[in-house]
């Protein structure tokens, strides 16, 4: 397969299911340049397209309501805080740089559905870059870059939350650049099938992917470079999940631990050849690589 040029910009994966993800659609656009305006726009009822301009300094978590598209203008940065999608649905977040957040950068929780997190950059935060938990479902996390950061992407927050999580937490992670990010790329509980495809893993010090608590994770067509622990079953106190690995490319990295079967993927997708994924992802992932 030839490198995709320009980078794919269309929605692929779990967020296409359950009626699809359109965010604010063709609703009116609001441009915000400070934290209070951003918070008000995110928390308003009704569909909206929200453009972030410049650097917005903030703290804590800003609530995002349903039917919102949040787009970064060129260079747009959210510094110090994060976005919380809790029980709402149909949200798109694209082309933003998040740094120095003091909780999570993006938190998807409480049965939030149909979320697309695309072409963002994340660095130097406190907790998760993108954490998805508490029964949330139908999420695509695509073309993001995470660097200078430890706890990257958690899927399912605790081992004892199966009653809310089993049958949910279906997420696609594709064309992300896990650029020295340490761990949780992602760390998965319960969700099945979780689809981790065409990502570029570079020098992750802790591990790449962990499947735990009977999750089903398909690790497909990824490029692992200088990663000592590419993927495994179980993590910490969490019991093992299931993991199927296929068509991955390894450079100075071992194949990881697999076991069990994973539910079938219900959507169509085009898989890039794993050996081309490094060039495709480094050319296309992160904020500033698309025009929105």
Does residue 246 have an active-site annotation?
no
C-beta pairs of 86-89 under 8 Å, 24+ apart in sequence: 86/110, 86/112, 87/111, 87/112, 88/64, 88/112, 89/113, 89/114, 89/115
CA pair distance 235, 254, nearest whole angstrom: 18
Residue of 51, 89, 134, 184 with catalytic role: 184
Task: Write the CA distances from 54 to 77, 97, 106, 123, integer angstroms.
Answer: 6, 10, 19, 17
Strand partners, 30: 50
Task: Write the CA distances from 30 to 24, 35, 68, 72, 246, integer angstroms.
Answer: 11, 14, 11, 12, 44
Neighbours of 43 (CB within 10 A): 12
Q: In what order do the strands lie in the sheet with 171-174?
A: 29-32, 48-52, 68-72, 89-94, 113-118, 137-142, 171-174, 194-197, 216-220, 242-246
**Cβ atoms of 56 and 82 closer than 8 Å:** no
Residue 172's closest CA among 128, 137, 205?
137
Task: Tell me the catalytic residues.
Answer: 184
């Amino acid at each position: 397969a030839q490198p995709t040029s320009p980078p794919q910009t269309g929605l692929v994966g779990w967020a296409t299911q359950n009626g699809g993800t359109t965010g604010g659609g063709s609703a009116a656009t609001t441009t915000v340049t400070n934290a209070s305006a951003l918070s008000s726009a995110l928390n308003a009822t009704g569909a909206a397209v929200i453009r972030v301009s410049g650097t917005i300094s903030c703290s804590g978590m800003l609530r995002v309501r349903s039917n919102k598209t949040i787009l970064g203008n060129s260079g747009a940065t959210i510094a110090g805080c994060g976005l919380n999608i809790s029980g709402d649905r149909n949200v798109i977040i694209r082309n933003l740089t998040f740094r120095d957040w003091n909780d999570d950068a993006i938190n998807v929780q409480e049965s939030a559905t149909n979320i697309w997190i695309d072409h963002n950059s994340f660095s130097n935060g406190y907790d998760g870059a993108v954490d998805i938990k508490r029964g949330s479902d139908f999420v695509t996390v695509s073309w993001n870059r995470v660097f200078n950061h430890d706890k990257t992407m958690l899927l399912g927050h605790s081992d004892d939350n199966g009653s809310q999580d089993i049958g949910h937490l279906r997420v696609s992670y594709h064309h992300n650049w896990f650029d020295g990010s340490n761990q949780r790329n992602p760390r998965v509980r319960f969700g099945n099938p979780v689809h981790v495809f065409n990502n570029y893993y570079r020098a992750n010090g802790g591990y790449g992917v962990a499947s735990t608590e009977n999750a089903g994770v398909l690790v497909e067509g990824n490029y692992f470079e200088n990663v000592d622990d590419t993927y495994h079953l179980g993590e910490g106190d969490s019991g093992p999940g299931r993991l199927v690995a296929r068509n991955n490319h390894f450079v100075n990295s071992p194949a990881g631990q697999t076991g069990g079967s994973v539910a079938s993927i219900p959507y169509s997708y085009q898989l890039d050849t794993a050996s081309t994924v490094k060039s495709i992802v480094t050319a296309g992932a992160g904020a500033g690589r698309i025009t929105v």
